Amino acid sequence: MDIRTVGIVGAGQMGNGIAHVFALAGYEVLLNDISEESLNQARSTIDRNLERQASRGKISAEEKAAALGRIRTTLRLADLGPTDLVIEAATERETVKQAIFEDLLPHLKPTTILTSNTSSISITRLASRTDRPEKFMGFHFMNPVPVMQLVELIRGIATDQPTYEAMLAVVAKLGKTAASAEDFPAFIVNRILIPMINEAVYTLYEGVGNVRSIDEALKLGANHPMGPLELADFIGLDTCLAIMNVLYDGLADTKYRPCPLLTKYVEAGWLGRKTERGFYDYRGEVPVPTR
């Protein structure tokens, strides 16, 4: 499976980061979104992040220009049909992902590999709604994509060996490291990470500590680069809640019950950095704890 062209669905935080690393690795990239504004913003973000790498001497000015030249954008999902690999990086809602694959299927080449950047949803279930479950995989990048070295590869029940090996080769070409996970709720990283964040929210909810003390305790006591509540804001509280619900529904274990305070923040629209308020308020010069 010779993969040269890559179609990416979704130009948000994950999608533009995935486009960045693929273009830098020499792939021709076609980035799709439903909004022209999102596509323009994605190009600006990629340009800025590539410039940051160039200013630090990690890439040359020529490599930056070449990478930008390999990225095209489109509002038409059907335009991704001729690509060798499609990576869906839309919002973490199963109905949205299913609709995207359904719309894509009539336009795809028979050999195109389909993947999802989902952080928690069943790959087997997503694959079963397509015409090529054997050529379908979970392809989960970590955020921020240009910085983080790990990619989780998740095989559904039907995923064949050539597809898995092709994705291993792609990860190697990107200069990243693959971790193979079985298709169980939230896979490896989020199965461990998000319940830790949820427990930190419970610790806040029960008054064991305030936002600052909880984050400082984990940064200094466990040598974490970010506190769990700060990290939740970075990930997005809606995403954290969605993953906890996938774990709770999929494993039927009360230890995965989302904290009511996490639910309350999401109901308020306080989703973290992207809305300028979460466990911290980001509207001033420095983040201020909200509890």
Question: In this structure, are 238 and 114 located in the same domain?
Answer: no
Residue that finishes a domain, picked among 182, 200, 229: 182
**Total structural domains in the chain?**
2
Question: In this structure, are 263 and 149 located in the same domain?
Answer: no
Question: In this structure, are 200 and 79 located in the same domain?
Answer: no
Q: Could you tell me if 142 and 176 are in contact, meaning their C-beta atoms sit under 8 angstroms apart? A: no
CATH number, domain of 9, equals 3.40.50.720
Task: For the chain, count helices (H), then strands (E).
Answer: 11, 10
Residue that finishes a domain, picked among 153, 182, 211: 182
245 belongs to the catalytic site: no
Question: In this structure, are 178 and 195 located in the same domain?
Answer: no
119 belongs to the catalytic site: yes
190 belongs to the catalytic site: yes
> Which is the catalytic residue, given 32, 38, 116, 119?
119
Residue 60, token pair as written in the block: 């040359």
CATH number, domain of 210, equals 1.10.1040.10
Question: In this structure, are 174 and 195 located in the same domain?
Answer: no
> What is the Cα–Cα distance from 135 to 120, expressed in whole angstroms?
19
Question: In this structure, are 154 and 61 located in the same domain?
Answer: yes
Nearest to 93 by CA among 116, 121, 56: 121
Question: In this structure, are 249 and 152 located in the same domain?
Answer: no
> Which is the catalytic residue, given 38, 49, 122, 140?
140
Annotated binding site for NAD(+): 10-15, 33, 92, 97, 119, 143, 274
Annotated binding site: 10-15, 33, 92, 97, 119, 143, 274
Q: At what angle do helices 228-235 and 237-251 cross, to 10 degrees?
A: 100
Residue type, 251: L
Q: Could you tell me if 249 and 260 are in contact, meaning their C-beta atoms sit under 8 angstroms apart? A: no
pLDDT in the model for residue 92: 84
Question: In this structure, are 19 and 96 located in the same domain?
Answer: yes
Domain carrying residue 26: 5-182
> Which is the catalytic residue, given 117, 152, 198, 230?
152
Question: In this structure, are 123 and 159 located in the same domain?
Answer: yes
Question: In this structure, are 47 and 142 located in the same domain?
Answer: yes
Question: In this structure, are 215 and 84 located in the same domain?
Answer: no
Q: Are strands 85-88 and 71-74 parallel, antiparallel or unpaired?
A: unpaired
Give me the tens of pLDDT residue by residue for the chain, a chain 291 residues long. 789 999 999 999 999 999 999 999 999 999 999 999 999 999 999 999 999 999 999 999 999 999 999 999 999 999 999 999 999 999 888 999 999 999 999 999 999 999 999 988 999 999 999 999 999 999 999 989 999 999 999 999 999 999 999 999 999 999 999 999 999 999 999 999 999 999 999 999 999 999 999 999 999 999 999 999 999 999 999 999 999 999 999 999 999 999 999 999 999 999 999 999 999 999 999 999 999
165 belongs to the catalytic site: no
Question: Does the model's pTM come out above 0.85?
Answer: yes
